[in-house]
């Protein structure tokens, strides 16, 4: 079935690194832009980044720019988020999401179940 | 950066109509999207392009968007509708997705 499954979360110390993965199935992954979105405990949704179909265009939110990097491997139907120099405030559930791109009207029509990242000493 | 403002909570009795608002500067010229999130679950798209519903979303869910306010309307509210609801637009100036802070819908 059509789904996204995240993995790679866990406990990491401040200043550490983590790489999240998102496995796509049931649709033609290479045809879609993809995004990462996170949700801190008890808080709202925060968009983090998007990547174009080929991976040639990426965009990151200011809050993670220079520390997080989105990438994809279309041959493996996989999306990634490399997170470096992690801080306590990066503690959150991280979701990957499929992006519907229609002119300047973008939204997220398919979400994974999320993976929890905890940054603590 | 663009800001979307939602009320923290809305309460409604079963069978009544719930309206969740989302305010933003001249928001009517943007396309509004709404997500439902139940505890411990991922968000689910319930309305896109102001008023369209994805396949599988009940007709009880509808949306409108004009001026400085967008509204998600849930008719004949059921207990299963109790959830957090988030509005979202794409800010073309910053090339960012922007979410509202979320509204907790309580079914009394």
Determine the distance in angstroms separating the CA of A94 from the nearest CA of chain B, rounded to an integer: 10
Rounded CA gap, B71 and B100, in Å? 12
Q: Report residue A74: phi and psi, to 5°.
A: -65, -30
Interface touch B88/A100, C-beta < 8 Å: no
Q: Residue B25 pLDDT more than 90?
A: yes
Residue with tokens 């896109």: B48
Interface touch A45/B41, C-beta < 8 Å: no
- CB of B34 within 8 Å of a chain A CB? The answer is no
Rounded CA gap, A82 and A103, in Å? 28
pLDDT of res. A105 = 84
B43: nearest CB among A102, A104, A111: A111
Interface touch B43/A46, C-beta < 8 Å: no
pLDDT of res. B55 = 96
* Residues with Cβ within 8 Å of residue A76, at least 6 apart in sequence: none
pLDDT in tens, B74-105: 999 999 999 999 999 999 888 999 999 999 99
What's the mean pLDDT in B25-47? 96
Determine the distance in angstroms separating the CA of A79 from the nearest CA of chain B, rounded to an integer: 18
């Amino acid at each position: 079935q059509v789904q996204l499954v995240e993995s790679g979360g866990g406990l990491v110390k401040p200043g550490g690194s983590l790489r999240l993965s998102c496995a796509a199935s049931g649709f033609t992954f290479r045809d879609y832009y993809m995004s990462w979105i996170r949700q801190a405990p008890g808080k709202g949704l925060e968009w983090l980044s998007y990547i174009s179909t080929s991976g040639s265009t990426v965009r990151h939110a200011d809050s993670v720019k220079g520390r997080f990097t989105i990438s994809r491997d279309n041959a493996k139907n996989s999306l990634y988020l490399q997170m470096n120099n992690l801080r306590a405030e990066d503690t959150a559930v991280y979701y990957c999401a499929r992006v519907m791109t229609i002119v300047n009207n973008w939204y997220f029509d398919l979400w994974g179940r999320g993976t929890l990242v905890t940054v603590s000493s | 950066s663009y800001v979307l403002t939602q009320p923290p909570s809305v309460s409604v009795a079963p069978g009544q109509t719930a309206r969740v608002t989302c305010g933003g500067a001249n928001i009517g010229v943007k396309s509004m999207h709404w997500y439902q999130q139940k505890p411990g679950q991922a968000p689910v798209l319930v309305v896109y392009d102001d008023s369209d519903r994805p396949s599988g979303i009940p007709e009880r869910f509808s949306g409108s968007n004009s001026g400085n306010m967008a509204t998600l309307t849930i008719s004949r509210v059921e207990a299963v509708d109790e959830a957090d609801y988030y509005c979202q637009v794409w800010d073309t100036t910053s090339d960012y997705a922007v979410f509202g802070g979320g509204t907790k819908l309580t079914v009394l």
